[in-house]
Copies of this chain bind each other. A is one copy, B any other.
Amino acid sequence: MQFDDKVPIYYQIKQYVYQQIITGKWQPGTQLPAVRQLAVELTVNVNTVQRALRELIAAQILISKRGKGNFVTTDQTTLATLADQLVQDRLGAVYDDLRALNLTDQQIITAMQTYIEKRGRQDEHDFND
Query: C-beta contact mask, A85-129 vs B, less than 8 Å → 1, else 0?
Result: 011101111110110111101001101110110011000000000
Q: Are B86 and A101 in contact (CB under 8 A)?
A: yes
Q: Are B95 and A93 in contact (CB under 8 A)?
A: no
Which secondary structure dominates where chain A touches chain B?
helix
Which B residues touch A116, using CB under 8 A? Answer: 95, 105, 108-109
Query: C-beta contact mask, A57-97 vs B, less than 8 Å → 1, else 0?
Result: 00000000000000000000000000100111011111101
Binding site for B on A (CB under 8 A): 6-8, 11, 18-19, 22-24, 83, 86-88, 90-95, 97-98, 100-103, 105, 108-109, 111-113, 115-116, 119-120
